[in-house]
Amino acid sequence: MGLTPRPAPRSVEATGGENWVTTKLDSLVNWARKNSLWPMPFGTACCAIEFMATAASKYDLARFGMERMSFSPRQADVLICAGRVPFKLAPVLRRIWQQMPQPKWCISMGACASSGGMFDNYAVVQGIDTIIPVDVYVPGCPPRPEGLLYGILLLQEKVSQEHMGDDAIRREMEPDPKSGLYIPPAAIDELSEPFGNSVHQTRSGL
Amino acid sequence: MTPHNVPREGAPANPTAAALQARFGDAIRRVDVVWGETTVYVARERLLEIVRWLHDDPEQQYDYLSDVTAVEYRDPERALEVVWHLRSLPRRRFLRLKVELPRGTALEVESVWPVYRGADWLERECYDMFGIRFTGHPDLRRILMWEQYREGYPLRKDFPLRGRFSRAEQLRQALAANPEARYSMEELSIADAFADLPDEMRQRLKSGARTGE
């Protein structure tokens, strides 16, 4: 979808060959990493309430090694954006993302964070993937805690597939210097076209 | 005393309306009572005087300004209205003041900030959303949208719901804003954002005028 693709992992020859030791080390590191993802909660709306429910005792985020909320981006692994993001907050979210050290991941929780949701208006960002790269989208309005847990499991799956030889997981992904965006402007305009019931219909029918 | 069974029309008016008519005469254009709530339309030029009287007069004591907002109607001929909601806690009265700003005239009205300090942010919001200038306000600038917002006034009827610019352009402009910008000279980070601020604000900051924060 117009995203600048992460460079492909270097070939086996270029990395000096994958052998029993490196692959076992990969799986050890990935196992440790995926079970200790520290979330940076960025809760702006009702999704944050479901996120708090997920972190509380009944759903117990601690089972996934995520009970330690990192309220500083410097010590965070996963940015969980729960809720709508207005344009005024866009530079804040971008800066928090850039302050997180590599390797880092992002979960876009809920319809608003993923697509703008019902807020197809002048004030709301139409999907945070127009500001920062996103790994997992969790649908729902808001998603139930099970939904978020499923998203987290998907992210753990993704983390467990990474290779240390792939230096893309260590390199910061830079936005296009000309537009300052990760996605080409034309793609953003296309992504945020009205879909289905939109501004062409008003509630009063007038 | 909560009123019960109030008719839509014909409920007794707030006694303040009669007092206003007796004192200000022609400046009180019209008095409406709908669902027991009194709306007084007043002349634009005498607004501040009237509000000050309502606040100071011992028979009125409107000591609380609960809202300042505006209404634009669908009818393009009809005037914009600026609305003040006043409440008198000692006398348990509620009064709605309105000023009509006819089409074709400047959207300007006096600020009630000299009487109610709480009007500061309410009037800034009204300016931000409708573009109504409150003369005499100490620091009239946007409050909900960011300072450099250029697309207009979002709650006006001629403003498209999704904004005037393309999504990518909106995003580019929003991302260009400096989230650490503060608007008082005491804050160190003002130095970073100084060049981005609107002209008149730079002038004000340079002259050391108070910023209202």
Flag whether A137 is in a domain: yes
Domain assignment of residue A135, given as a range: 25-191
d(C-alpha A89, C-alpha A81), whole Å: 12
Alpha carbons B24 and B18: distance in angstroms, whole number: 10
pLDDT band at A201 (very low <50, low <70, confident <90, very high): very low
Q: Across chain A, what does the average pLDDT equal?
A: 84
Asked, for residue A168, whether it belongs to a domain, the answer is yes
**Does A130 reside within a domain?**
yes
The reply to whether A196 falls in a domain is: no
CATH code assigned at A121 = 3.40.50.12280
Check B171 against A125: CB less than 8 A apart.
yes
Q: Name the residue type at position B122.
A: L
**Residue range B15-144 in CATH 1.10.10.60:** no
- The per-residue pLDDT for B12 is 86
Cβ contact (<8 Å) for A87 and B169? Answer: no
Residues of chain A positioned with their CB less than 8 A from the CB of B163: 121-122
Domain boundaries, chain B: 15-144
- Per-residue confidence band for A3, with pLDDT thresholds at 50, 70 and 90: low
Laid out side by side, the sheet with B28-34 consists of B28-34, B37-42, B93-101, B80-88, B64-71
* pLDDT number for residue B1: 47
Q: How many domains does chain A have?
A: 1
8 Å CB contact between A31 and A160: yes
| Axis-axis angle for helices A90-99, B167-176 (nearest 10) | 60
* Model confidence band, residue A10 (pLDDT cutoffs 50, 70, 90): low
Condensed to tens digits (0 to 9), the pLDDT of residues B2-55 reads 667 888 888 888 999 999 999 998 999 999 999 889 999 999 999 999 999 999
Q: Does residue A155 fall inside a structural domain?
A: yes
Q: Is residue A122 part of a domain?
A: yes
- Beta strand pairing call for B37-42 and B64-71: unpaired
Confirm or reject contact between B150 and chain A (CB < 8 A): no
Residue A205 lies in a domain: no
Q: What is the pTM of this model?
A: 0.79
Q: Is A111 left (phi over 0), alpha (psi -120 to 50) or beta?
A: alpha
Q: Which residue has the tokens 């650490």?
A: B180
What are residue B184's phi and psi, to 5 degrees?
Answer: -125, 145
Q: What does each of the 213 residues of chain B score in pLDDT, given as a tens digit? A: 466 788 888 888 899 999 999 999 899 999 999 988 999 999 999 999 999 999 999 989 999 999 999 999 988 899 999 999 999 999 999 999 999 999 889 999 999 999 999 999 999 999 999 999 999 998 888 889 888 888 889 999 888 888 888 888 888 888 888 766 655 555 545 666 777 777 877 887 777 665 544
- ipTM exceeding 0.85, yes/no: no
Alpha helices by DSSP H, listed for chain B, are: 15-24, 47-56, 119-130, 167-176, 190-193, 199-207
User: Would residue A206 count as lying in a domain?
Assistant: no
Among A42, A84, A85, A87, the residue to mutate for chain B (most B Cβ within 10 A): A87
